[in-house]
Structure 1
């Protein structure tokens, strides 16, 4: 495989590529925090603890979405065979409990403040991110948000627009929005008539602390954690902020990088948008031996989901770019 620098060197002079960040972006900082096994260990399923953990064991996974899909399938089968009401209601409650537990687990394992990350690491991440124009992310955590908002760290010119304005309310149309949280995030809240975000400030309570307070009061951040691409798309299209970000994918053109994403079927809605775009070249990161079963699947999916009459896919070594270099 080629390196990241070799890939980005192919971009035409004057063009700035776009990027989609997957969970690998955050795991590159600390794999022990930002992985499903750790989130499952931290999750609290309340009175359904034994039953839901047994589901993870039966599915042979740490992935919350896999278990969510299993619950959706179970409900569909029961409905087809005339299943009774109480059991269907239990499955529906478990679906909601699973989503709530995921949000709580992320907030409880997340670094509380950006000073837990070294300035050199933020500088390295900012240098990497500054190579791109439009930035899309499916991550819920705050690492990218913190990196792009740190002040007094190079490169100083890296000040991207996320569409939020005075009072931290999203404005959307009429902005030069370059940052798109495709599946929401810890810092974004849907207040019904307005989309708001918690803003980073060293002088105020940390965002993570605010999120935890909100969770205690039953207020959850804007998250898309539905079990399938179809259900994720439906959720996105019913929220003005998420829909705006989603539609921005289709406006992409030129060269597009995908960093740290498993190219899973659960995010096929994203790749369908990109396939309809004017992107001519996709560079997809591969971590480790490209011939493993997992990486072979990633490469096959990337070609199937992204290649079109005008676009082609090439792969680069994810380890050739030290995003969080100390």
Structure 2
């Protein structure tokens, strides 16, 4: 039988890992396997053209950012050698418009979110890692907690990330977006910055218009197997920094809304298992599972994370304040 959060809450959980189950509990429209699937299944306008779909297929990806990047570089090359770029610009706009209309279709509105209740719980952790690309953690923390008490490393010029300037001072709580997030953007050289205009709203698609070498792209990994995610992480200085910080954290780790699936999150499983600075890990088990399924998942996670010196705890997800009824935004469940 699983423990409850009350059974273990007094054990100094200084690190937090939030997964998509956290977001899905709050806003059930996040219950889809990928933005690409949601777009095609729900015929989001403008429909992705057949040529665009072929690019997704040829790149073996369902990640919009990869397709936008490929098109941006293709336009740069064609323009450099004096060839016509109108068709590629049209494909770029098709992907861009569809992506943003899809995001707007599935994302919770700022005014509907119970940011005070969420922020009140986030303040207890010194390091908050999240694989959620949505804006729930960002909106709930940076709109409720004192600015002097929190940071996310975007303190360089133009709210950019500088890998040479990441030292924390004072007793701040630090946020790490392991798979990027909707309020982050990157240029074609991989430099990452934060869009301050997203403090209470979603980004504007005009922020990502094609602009030659100055083109900026979204930075979030919303789908993909673990090996794809790790490859993407290793290709970007900000994501690499976040993953390295996750791999080197010390103390105790609380995992909420994250299944730590071998296929999709093995890079996180390995980081936890190989980090000897971690002494305790507590993992929420989705309360909607049957008792047999809970036991099976507990055994599987125990086997994947076993290491001398690491204590594992498993508890009912619905008993934690960040994954219970009090933080939910009620909407009708949709089948997608």
Q: TM-score range by the shorter chain?
A: 0.7 to 0.9
- Of the three residues 117, 123, 126, the one matched with 2:116 is 123
Any idea what the Cα deviations from partners look like across 1:240-273, whole Å, max 9, x if unmatched? 0000000001212221010001221211001111
TM-score scaled by length of structure 1: 0.73
Shift of 1:124: 1.1
Q: Kindly indicate whether residue 42 of structure 2 is the aligned counterpart of residue 10 of structure 1.
A: no
Once the two structures are superposed, residues 48-88 of structure 1 have per-residue CA deviations (whole angstroms, 9 ceiling, x without a partner) of 59xx8xxxxxxxxxxxxxxxxxxxxxxxxxxxxxxxxxx9x
| Other-structure match for 1:137 | 130
Pick aligned residue for 1:171 from 162, 178, 181: 162
Consecutive unaligned residues in structure 1, runs of 5 or more: 53-86
The answer for the alignment partner of 1:275 in structure 2 is: 273
Residue 127 of structure 1: CA displacement?
Answer: 1.5
Structure 2 regions of 5+ residues with no counterpart? 68-94, 328-336
- 2:148 aligned with 1:148: no
2:183–2:194 contact (8 Å) kept in structure 1: yes
Deviation at 1:27, TM superposition (A): 1.6
The structure 2 residue matched to 1:184, chosen from 180, 194, 198, is: 180
Distance 1:300 1:220 in 2: 40
Q: Does 1:241 align with 2:242?
A: no
**Would the aligned equivalents of 1:135 and 1:180 in 2 still touch at CA under 8 Å?**
yes
Cα distance in 1 between the residues matched to 2:33 and 2:228 = 24
Aligned residue for 2:254, secondary structure, equals strand
| Alignment partners' CA distance in 2, 1:157 and 1:225 | 28
Map 1:197-208 onto structure 2 (within 5 A).
197-200=194-197, 207-208=201-202
CA distance in structure 2 between the aligned counterparts of 1:96 and 1:157, rounded to whole angstroms: 36
Contact 2:63 2:222 in 1 (8 A): no
1:94-114 deviations in Å (ceiling 9; x for gaps): 6357666795433442135x2
Give the RMSD, CA atoms, in angstroms.
Answer: 3.2
Task: Classify the secondary structure of the residue corresponding to 1:314.
Answer: strand
Cα distance in 2, alignment partners of residues 8 and 305 from structure 1 = 24
- The alpha-carbon deviation at position 2 of structure 1 amounts to 2.1
Does the C-alpha gap of structure 1 residues 189 and 109 become closer, same or farther in structure 2, counting only changes over 3 Å? same
- Whether 1:95 aligns to 2:61 is yes
Alpha-carbon distance, 1:239 to partner: 0.7
Cα contact 1:21–1:136 (8 A) shared by 2: yes
